Protein backbone atom coordinates (compact mmCIF):
# COMPACT_ATOMS: atom_id res chain seq x y z
CA UNK A 1 0.00 0.00 0.00
CA UNK A 2 2.94 2.31 0.71
CA UNK A 3 4.05 2.05 -2.92
CA UNK A 4 0.64 3.23 -4.13
CA UNK A 5 0.90 6.28 -1.92
CA UNK A 6 4.54 7.16 -2.68
CA UNK A 7 4.75 6.19 -6.37
CA UNK A 8 1.33 6.70 -7.98
CA UNK A 9 2.59 8.33 -11.19
CA UNK A 10 5.36 5.76 -11.64
CA UNK A 11 2.92 2.89 -11.20
CA UNK A 12 0.57 4.45 -13.73
CA UNK A 13 3.46 4.75 -16.20
CA UNK A 14 4.38 1.09 -15.60
CA UNK A 15 0.80 0.12 -16.47
CA UNK A 16 0.88 2.30 -19.60
CA UNK A 17 4.21 0.83 -20.72
CA UNK A 18 2.86 -2.69 -20.22
CA UNK A 19 -0.20 -1.87 -22.28
CA UNK A 20 1.81 -0.20 -25.05
CA UNK A 21 4.21 -3.13 -25.15
CA UNK A 22 1.51 -5.64 -26.06
CA UNK A 23 -1.01 -3.84 -28.24
CA UNK A 24 -0.74 -3.65 -32.02
CA UNK A 25 0.39 -0.16 -32.95
CA UNK A 26 -1.36 1.56 -35.86
CA UNK A 27 0.50 2.30 -39.08
CA UNK A 28 1.54 5.97 -39.27
CA UNK A 29 3.89 8.08 -41.32
CA UNK A 30 6.30 8.02 -38.36
CA UNK A 31 7.07 4.40 -39.21
CA UNK A 32 9.19 5.72 -42.06
CA UNK A 33 11.51 7.61 -39.67
CA UNK A 34 14.64 5.50 -39.12
CA UNK A 35 15.03 4.19 -35.56
CA UNK A 36 11.94 6.00 -34.26
CA UNK A 37 11.10 2.80 -32.39
CA UNK A 38 14.38 2.99 -30.46
CA UNK A 39 13.82 6.67 -29.62
CA UNK A 40 10.38 5.77 -28.24
CA UNK A 41 11.93 3.01 -26.10
CA UNK A 42 14.57 5.40 -24.74
CA UNK A 43 11.88 7.96 -23.91
CA UNK A 44 9.52 5.45 -22.26
CA UNK A 45 12.10 3.89 -19.95
CA UNK A 46 13.98 7.14 -19.41
CA UNK A 47 10.71 8.76 -18.39
CA UNK A 48 9.84 5.89 -16.07
CA UNK A 49 13.22 5.95 -14.39
CA UNK A 50 13.11 9.74 -14.07
CA UNK A 51 9.71 9.49 -12.39
CA UNK A 52 10.98 6.83 -10.01
CA UNK A 53 13.95 9.03 -9.09
CA UNK A 54 11.84 12.13 -8.50
CA UNK A 55 9.13 10.35 -6.53
CA UNK A 56 11.77 8.65 -4.37
CA UNK A 57 13.62 11.90 -3.73
CA UNK A 58 10.37 13.73 -2.99
CA UNK A 59 9.12 11.19 -0.42
CA UNK A 60 12.36 10.22 1.35
CA UNK A 61 14.39 12.50 3.53
CA UNK A 62 17.27 10.06 3.86
CA UNK A 63 18.62 8.86 0.53
CA UNK A 64 19.56 5.20 0.44
CA UNK A 65 21.58 4.59 -2.75
CA UNK A 66 20.90 0.83 -2.68
CA UNK A 67 17.14 1.43 -2.82
CA UNK A 68 17.53 3.92 -5.66
CA UNK A 69 19.69 1.48 -7.61
CA UNK A 70 17.18 -1.33 -7.13
CA UNK A 71 14.01 0.72 -7.60
CA UNK A 72 14.98 3.24 -10.27
CA UNK A 73 17.58 1.28 -12.24
CA UNK A 74 17.32 -2.50 -11.81
CA UNK A 75 13.53 -2.78 -11.68
CA UNK A 76 12.93 -0.91 -14.97
CA UNK A 77 15.71 -2.93 -16.65
CA UNK A 78 14.25 -6.23 -15.38
CA UNK A 79 10.76 -5.14 -16.41
CA UNK A 80 12.09 -4.31 -19.86
CA UNK A 81 13.77 -7.69 -20.22
CA UNK A 82 10.66 -9.54 -19.07
CA UNK A 83 8.49 -7.62 -21.52
CA UNK A 84 10.84 -8.35 -24.42
CA UNK A 85 10.87 -12.06 -23.55
CA UNK A 86 7.06 -12.11 -23.24
CA UNK A 87 6.71 -10.29 -26.56
CA UNK A 88 8.83 -12.89 -28.33
CA UNK A 89 7.26 -15.95 -26.70
CA UNK A 90 3.65 -15.06 -25.94
CA UNK A 91 2.47 -12.78 -28.74
CA UNK A 92 1.93 -13.13 -32.45
CA UNK A 93 1.77 -9.40 -33.22
CA UNK A 94 4.98 -8.32 -31.42
CA UNK A 95 8.53 -9.59 -31.42
CA UNK A 96 11.16 -9.35 -28.73
CA UNK A 97 14.24 -7.45 -29.84
CA UNK A 98 17.63 -7.15 -28.15
CA UNK A 99 18.04 -3.67 -29.62
CA UNK A 100 14.78 -2.61 -27.96
CA UNK A 101 16.18 -3.91 -24.68
CA UNK A 102 19.41 -1.97 -25.27
CA UNK A 103 17.39 1.19 -25.99
CA UNK A 104 15.40 0.66 -22.79
CA UNK A 105 18.62 0.27 -20.78
CA UNK A 106 20.00 3.40 -22.43
CA UNK A 107 16.92 5.35 -21.32
CA UNK A 108 17.30 4.08 -17.75
CA UNK A 109 21.02 4.93 -17.78
CA UNK A 110 20.42 8.47 -19.07
CA UNK A 111 17.65 9.03 -16.53
CA UNK A 112 19.92 7.78 -13.76
CA UNK A 113 22.62 10.26 -14.76
CA UNK A 114 19.98 12.99 -14.73
CA UNK A 115 18.66 11.81 -11.36
CA UNK A 116 22.06 11.62 -9.73
CA UNK A 117 23.58 14.81 -11.10
CA UNK A 118 20.52 17.06 -11.47
CA UNK A 119 17.49 15.89 -9.46
CA UNK A 120 19.30 14.77 -6.31
CA UNK A 121 21.23 18.08 -5.82
CA UNK A 122 18.12 20.06 -6.75
CA UNK A 123 15.94 18.23 -4.23
CA UNK A 124 18.66 18.51 -1.57
CA UNK A 125 18.90 22.25 -2.09
CA UNK A 126 15.23 23.20 -2.40
CA UNK A 127 13.04 20.56 -0.79
CA UNK A 128 14.96 19.32 2.25
CA UNK A 129 15.26 21.34 5.43
CA UNK A 130 18.68 21.15 7.02
pLDDT digits (tens, 9 = 90+) for 13-71: 999 999 999 988 888 888 888 999 999 999 999 999 999 999 999 888 888 999 999 99
- Cα 71 to Cα 79: distance, rounded to the nearest angstrom: 11
Give me the domain span that covers residue 71: 36-126
Query: What is the CB-side half-sphere exposure of residue 68 using CA atoms within 13 A?
Result: 23
Closest CA to 82 of 130, 17, 38: 17
Is 40 part of a structural domain of the chain? yes
Rg of the chain, C-alpha, whole Å: 16
The answer to whether the Cα torsion of 4, 5, 7, 10 is positive or negative is positive
Q: How many domains does the chain have?
A: 1
Is 43 part of a structural domain of the chain? yes
Is 28 part of a structural domain of the chain? no
Is 24 part of a structural domain of the chain? no
Is 25 part of a structural domain of the chain? no
> Which pTM value belongs to this model?
0.89
pLDDT digits (tens, 9 = 90+) for 68-96: 999 999 999 999 999 999 999 998 888 88
Is 53 part of a structural domain of the chain? yes
Is 107 part of a structural domain of the chain? yes
* Amino acid 105: pLDDT: 98
Is 92 part of a structural domain of the chain? yes
Residues 97-117 have a mean pLDDT of 96
Closest CA to 93 of 42, 14, 34, 25: 25
Residue 130 pLDDT > 60: no
Amino acid sequence: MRYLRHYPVSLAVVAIICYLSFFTPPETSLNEVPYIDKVVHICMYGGLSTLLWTEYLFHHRIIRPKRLIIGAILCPILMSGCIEILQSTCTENRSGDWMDFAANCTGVFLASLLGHYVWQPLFSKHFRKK
